[in-house]
Amino acid sequence: MAIIPNIYINAVVSIGIRNQSKCVSWIGSGFFVIRKVDDKGNARPFLITNKHVLGNQSTIVLRMKEHGSTNLREIDAPLNSSEGHPLYKTHPTAQNIDIAILPLDGSFITSNNLEFPAFDIDDHAMASGELINNGVDEGSLVYMLGFPMGLVNKDSKVPICRLGCVARLCSEQIKETYNVLLDIQNFPGNSGSPIVSRPELMSIGGTPSLNRSVLMGIVHSYIPYRETLINSQTNEVVEVRSENSGIANMHPVEYIRDIIDTIQPKLEIKSDK
């Protein structure tokens, strides 16, 4: 039984940078989304990742599949215009939201003959309020799709899938920190990974349940656990150890939509009535 739609898995992409010898180091994850621009099905494509993944790079490398083929290609995607201005967009009001969205020209896909599986940001995604109304709460199972620790296969672009659950999903948490908390182990390379819900087939009587997989948000960090070691003779700190607590921060979908809205407003379908 397929729980995660293949289009979701195939929409995830590894992000890398080239060194001076043109070899690629894989540094993070991202995923493709689209937004419809007309009622004929035409859509505008975007790459979603974290701001810190892009850093100060002028170009990144995306590993994509050729259309109608099993061949994988390493495609260079510029991040700056010819005048040196960033091509990617960030949140219009909150600087500490770690999301970067790179609009992609349709010719980038067609001229390179690339496949472009993508989440529909309106039809395949739910904001935090929508999730709560559909029965998603603490303990609901989720999947993280990405490329931790450089685990990129030579002949496959399938991401690593990790199972976790929602640790805290409440409006107060989101207002204070812009985050939903997840109980899931994410590591370097997972930055920019999409989080998708696991369909729930059962629920307590009289309560809603989300019986399909949707895009919930994007992982950007974990909360570290720090332990301080103190010298018993001098009473001075000699070492601070930091470990992954297993609690991850996820920006929910509404912040992705906020940025896309500044680039491509949501299509309003006019009623014939």
Q: Please tell me the distance from the alpha carbon of residue 32 to that of residue 218, in angstroms, as a whole number.
A: 12
pLDDT at 60: 96
Q: Please tell me the distance from the alpha carbon of residue 45 to that of residue 50, in angstroms, as a whole number.
A: 17
2 pLDDT band, cuts 50/70/90, is confident
8 Å CB contact between 166 and 159: no
**Scanning the structure block, which residue is given the tokens 């999730």?**
131
Mean pLDDT, residues 23-39 taken together = 95
Q: Is the pLDDT of residue 53 over 90?
A: yes
Mean pLDDT, residues 215-244 taken together = 89
pTM to 2 decimal places = 0.91
8 Å CB contact between 77 and 105: no
For the chain, percent of residues with pLDDT exceeding 90: 72
pLDDT at 271: 53
Mean pLDDT, residues 10-30 taken together = 93
**Scanning the structure block, which residue is given the tokens 């995923």?**
31
CATH topology of domain 6-263: Thrombin, subunit H (2.40.10)
* Helix, strand, or coil (residue 30): strand
pLDDT at 226: 84
Measured CA distances, 155 to 63, 72, 152, 158, 162 (Å): 11, 7, 9, 9, 21
89 pLDDT band, cuts 50/70/90, is very high
Q: Which is nearest to 168 in space by CA: 179, 178, 157, 159? A: 179
Question: Angle at the Cα of 50 (from 49 to 52), degrees rounded to 5?
Answer: 140
Q: Is the pLDDT of residue 272 over 80?
A: no
Q: Is the pLDDT of residue 112 over 60?
A: yes
pLDDT at 206: 62
Paired sense of beta strands 43-49 and 24-36, if any: antiparallel
Cβ-proximal residues to 51 (8 Å cutoff; 6+ apart), any chain: 90, 98, 99, 100
Of 17-31, 136-150, 200-214, 240-254, the one with minimum mean pLDDT is: 200-214
pLDDT at 230: 87
Q: Is the pLDDT of residue 203 over 80?
A: no
Q: What does pLDDT average to over the chain?
A: 91
C-alpha torsion angle, residues 142, 147, 151, 153 (rounded to 10): 100
Give the start-to-end residue ranges of the domains of the chain. Answer: 6-263
